[in-house]
Amino acid sequence: MNRTFLRQLITFFQGMYAGIPIGLGYFAVSFAFGIQARAAGLSAFQAFLLSGTNLTSAGQFAGLAVIQSAGALATLALTQVVINLRYCLMSCALSQKLDPQTPFFHRFLMACGVTDEIFGVSISVRGRLSPYYLYGQTVVAWPGWAFGTLSGALAGNILPDSVTAALGMALYGMFVAIVVPAAKQDRKILLVVLAAALLSLIFYYTPVLSTISAGTRIILVTFLTAGTAAFLFPMNPTKEASHGRN
Amino acid sequence: MDATNIWLAIAVMASVTYAIRMLPLVILKREITEPHVRAFLHYVPYATLTAMTIPAAILDAPTLLAGLVGVSVAVLLALWRVSLVLVAAIASLAVWLVEVLL
């Protein structure tokens, strides 16, 4: 064993350790996703495959809504682009934290593990980010998400209806836990959140607008509110781009 | 083509999501400096998550009351900076309690 290999191995194990709470949290939330995937008509294996290849809560959840409403594949793709656009920002930030010499295969492989939580842990390390630190987190977090989904999809049927229905709140609870602390800390985010909530309600309850599908409504509300906010409050590069919990 | 073919839907979702994560890592060598683009990318997740939660979280719950209680509990806990997993768990518990007790 040479020194470089040993250092990479230690970094990998440190990443695994940091990934334990992430994996446990993922298991709980993706259990609820598994139940909902079954309700949307997916088989347990399809739910497992969806979670294993996507590794994203909000995107998968919105995808289910599009699948359930038999939306167009283009709508499905656009929904994923808009909802997962934040990963683009995170990957941009991570790319700045890598050693510029990092080979391409690491960059391709790392991309699989860019989630809100892994990004949050990875971006907070001192100095340069080693791909092995991210791999360590990913190998612990991924099984939590994928097998949590599988368990939910398989066990969802044996749970009482009241429990299944209540677990549906878990994903929304997670979204609230991401949005609220950020809105509390930053008034501009608070304005975006209030505007998005109001606009979403208007879309949902206004006669003609209410015929728009859930996926399209989410995209429209996002572009209108985030677009207006970007126009009103541009961000200078010196300002820290990360708020609240990631 | 619609998303009723679930295998195709899964493939589309996985490819699009991977591309979004991979492209900046592979292409980007400099930081994005355009203030409007930065701001847009910064606000997008909050707008999206809100639009996904309101009104669906309240309407998807077993009853309107259960939905309102669940979301309120989640917001209150999140204001106290309770961890993500606990917020999700306690909000679900609140929905279940309203459903069973009332």
Q: What is the DSSP string of A58-120?
A: HHHHHHHHHHHTT-BHHHHHHHHHHHTHHHHHHHHHHHHHB-TT--HHHHHHHGGG--HHHHH
Interface contact A178-B99, CB threshold 8 A: no
- Contacts with B76 (C-beta within 8 Å, 6 or more apart), sequence order: none
Query: CB–CB of A54 and B25 under 8 A?
Result: no
The pLDDT value given to residue A244:
41
Task: Kindly report which listed range (A137-146, A159-168, B5-14) carries the lowest average pLDDT score.
Answer: A159-168
The pLDDT of residue B31 is 65
Per-residue pLDDT at B1? 55
Q: Each residue of A95-145: pLDDT tens digit? A: 878 888 889 999 999 999 998 778 877 877 788 899 999 999 999 999 999
**Which pLDDT score, from 0 to 100, does residue B90 have?**
93
Weakest-pLDDT range from A10-14, A42-46, A60-64, A228-232 = A60-64
Q: What angle do CA A31, A34, A37 make, to 5 degrees?
A: 155
Distances in Å between the Cα of A124 and the Cα atoms of A115, A128, A242 are 14, 10, 11
The reported pLDDT for the residue numbered A241 is: 45
In a domain, A147, yes or no: yes
Asked if the structure places residue A111 within a domain, the reply is yes
Has residue A185 been placed in a domain?
A: no
| pTM over 0.80, yes/no | no
- A225 touching B, CB under 8 A? yes
Minimum-distance CB partner of B26 among A107, A176, A236: A107
CB contact set of A207 (below 8 Å; sequence gap of 6+) = none
- Which range marks the domain in which residue A99 is found? 3-174
Question: What ipTM is given for this predicted complex?
Answer: 0.86
Q: For residues A1 and A76, which has the higher predicted lDDT (pLDDT)?
A: A76
Inside any domain, residue A26:
yes
**Contact residues for A128 (Cβ-Cβ < 8 A; gap 6+):** A97, A98, A99
> Using the beta-carbon criterion (under 8 Å), do A32 and B92 form an inter-chain contact?
yes
A144 CA: distance to closest CA in chain B (Å):
13
**Cβ contact, residue pair A110, B94, below 8 Å:** no
- Residue A28 forms part of a structural domain: yes
In terms of phi and psi (left: phi > 0; alpha: psi -120 to 50; beta: otherwise), the region of B30 is beta
- What confidence score (pLDDT) does residue A112 get? 95
Pairs of CB atoms within 8 A across A/B: 322
> Which of B62, B68, B42, B75 lies closest to A188, judged by CA?
B42
User: Which of A69-73, A83-87, A97-101, A155-159 is predicted with the least confidence, judged by mean pLDDT?
Assistant: A155-159
Chain A residues within 8 A of B56 when measuring between CB atoms: 172, 214
Residues of A whose CB is below 8 A from B63: none
Say if A187 falls within a structural domain. no
Q: A51, A60 in Cβ contact below 8 A?
A: yes
Record the tokens describing residue A152, joined without a space.
Answer: 């939910």
> Is A62 in CB contact (< 8 Å) with chain B?
yes
A216 lies in some domain: no
Whether B83 sits inside 8 A of A88 (CB atoms) is no
CB A151 within 8 A of CB B36: no
pLDDT band at A246 (very low <50, low <70, confident <90, very high): very low
Q: What is the pLDDT of residues B28-41, one digit of tens each?
A: 766 677 899 888 87
Parse chain B into domains and list their residue ranges: 1-30, 35-101
The domain total for chain A is 1
Residue A184 falls within a domain, yes or no? no
Tokens, residue A43: 């088989």
Closest CA to B39 of A235, A91, A92, A192: A235
The pLDDT tens digits for B44-90 are 878 888 988 999 899 988 899 999 999 999 999 999 988 877 888 89
